[in-house]
A and B are shown apart, each in its own frame.
Chain A
Amino acid sequence: MNKLFRKLAVFSFAAVLVLDASIVLAGPVASSEAAAVVRECGVSASIIKQVDAGVDGGTVTEADGVALLAFFARICRAGLPSAPFEAKLAEGLAKKVPSIRIIPVLETMERQYALAMKILSDGNVVDADSVALLGDGLAKGVPVEVFRGYVEQYGTQERVMFRNGLAMTSFLAQAGFDYALTGNILETGFKADSLTTPWRYFVRVVLLARKRGIDDVRLAEAARESLAGGGSPADVASALGFTSRDLSGRSIHR
C-alpha cells in the first residue's frame, strides 16, 4: 500500500515538473539568464509566460523581453509586491502597447512603490496590503504628503483599521475630497473604533451624493455622525435621503 502511494506521489511530482517546465521553457526569453533570476526569486511563471506571449505576438522585442524579466527580478529582490506590476504588464500587452512604452511606465511605478515602502517603513507599519494600497494611490496621483500625514498620525492604530483608513484616504483623495474633511472622519472612526471594512469604499457614497448636489462638508458631517454611532456608509446614504432602492439594489448601473 505504502509502495503504491509512494509511486503515485513520485509520478504526480514528475508530472508537475514536466508541466511546469513546458510552461516556463516554452519561449525564447524563458531560457535567458534574467528568467533564471526571476524564477530563483520566486516570481510566478505567468510573468515569463506573458513576456514570451508578447515576444511571440510581436509587441515585445526579445531584448525588451529580457529587460522586462530583469525588471521583475529587481523588484523581487527589492521586496516589492509583484502583483501590481504583473497587472500593469498584462494591461499594456492587452492594449497592444509596444514594450518600449511599457517599461518606462513600470519603472515609474517602481519608484512610487519604493516610496510607499519607505513611508510605511518610517512609520513601522510595512505590510503587503498597505504597500499595495499606498503604491496604487501614489500611482493614481494622490499627493505623497497625504500618505505621510496619515502614517504619522495613525501609524499606531490597530492594523485592520489602519488599512481600512488608508484605503479610504487614498480613494477619497483620488476623488478630490478635501483631506482636512477626511481627517475629521478618520479621527471619529478611530476614536469610536468603528472604521470597518465597508468604510474603505465610502468614496462610492461621496460620488453618488455629489451627483445629487450634496456638498462634501455635509457628507463629512453625516459620515462622522454615522461612525460615532458605529454605523456604516449605508447609514450615511440613508441619512442623506437616498432611496431604499439605492441601498438594497444588487446592480451597479454604469
Chain B
Amino acid sequence: MSDERPARMLDEKITERIRTMPDATPPTGFAVRVMAGIEPKRPSVWTRFKLWSTRPRSVTFTPVRLVPALAVVVLLIGVGWFSLSGNQPSPPMVRFMLRDPGMQARSVAVIGSFNDWKAEHAHMRFDRKTGVWTVELSLPPGDYEYMFLVDGRTLVPDPEAPLSHDDGFGNRNSILFVNGSHEQAL
C-alpha cells in the first residue's frame, strides 16, 4: 500500500507535465519517413486464401442476363460431354438367346468370363411370344467363355454356339468371339 502512493504521485506529475507542454509541429516528411521505415508484413498464402474465401460478397443479376449465361453454361457442359463420350466407339452389343418353348425354366442368366461368372447383372428376360430367353450385353472385343445358369443351379451350354470346350470341371463352356464395332453380325 505504501509503495503504491509515491508511484501514483509520480504518474500524476508526469501527466501534468505532458499536459502543460507547448504544442510542437512535426518536421516536414516525418510521417512519410516513419511509414517507410515500417517493414510491410505479407500474410501467408493460406491466410490470404482463407480471407478471400470467407469474405462475403453480393451478386446481383437480372433474369434477362441470367438466362443467356445459363444457356452458355449448359451448352459448354453438353459440348464437353459429347466430345468425351461421342468420339469413343461404344462396345458392341451382344445378344444371348436360349430357346425354351415350354417355359420350363423359372429364371435364366448368362454367366461367363465377361462377368466373372456372376449372374447378378446378366439375368435374361423371357419373351412369351417367341419362347426365348434373351439378354443384351455390351462387350469389348475379345474371346469369351460362357454358359447359361438355369433356375440358379443348372449349368447349360449354348446349344447354338458353334464352338465349345471342356471347362475341366465336367461342363462344356460355349465360346464367343467379339470383334470391334464393325462386322458384329459375323
B117-A94 in contact (CB<8A)? yes
Complex: A201 Cα to B94 Cα, angstroms:
15
Complex: A101 Cα to B169 Cα, angstroms:
7
The number of residues on chain B lying at the interface, defined by a beta carbon within 8 Å of a beta carbon of chain A, is 43
The number of residues on chain A lying at the interface, defined by a beta carbon within 8 Å of a beta carbon of chain B, is 44
A174-B94 in contact (CB<8A)? no
Contact with B along A84-124 (1 / 0, CB 8 A): 00011011101101000110010010000000000000000
Q: A97-B169, A201-B141 are in contact. Are A254 and B160 (CB under 8 A)?
A: yes
Residue A237 CB within 8 A of the other chain:
yes
Secondary structure dominating the interface of A = helix
Complex: A208 Cα to B155 Cα, angstroms:
26
**Inside 8 A of A102's CB, which chain B residues have their CB?**
169
**Chain A residue with the shortest CB-CB distance to B44:** A1
Q: How far is the CB of A2 from chain B (nearest CB, A)?
A: 9
Q: A87-B113, A245-B185, A252-B95 are in contact. Are A95 and B169 (CB under 8 A)?
A: yes
B113-A249 in contact (CB<8A)? no
Q: A87-B113, A94-B117, A175-B163 are in contact. Are A246 and B186 (CB under 8 A)?
A: yes
Residue A6 CB within 8 A of the other chain:
no
B175-A174 in contact (CB<8A)? yes
B177-A204 in contact (CB<8A)? yes
Q: Which residues of B contact A (CB under 8 A)?
A: 44-46, 49, 92-97, 111, 113, 116-118, 136, 141, 143, 145, 155, 158, 160-163, 165-169, 171, 175-186
Q: How far is the CB of B117 from chain A (nearest CB, A)?
A: 3
Beyond known contacts A201-B177, A246-B186: 10 more, CB 8 A cutoff: A91-B117, A91-B167, A94-B111, A95-B169, A101-B169, A204-B183, A242-B186, A248-B185, A249-B185, A251-B92
Residue A141 CB within 8 A of the other chain:
yes
Complex: A251 Cα to B178 Cα, angstroms:
10
B177-A90 in contact (CB<8A)? no
**Chain B residue with the shortest CB-CB distance to A105:** B168
A251-B95 in contact (CB<8A)? yes
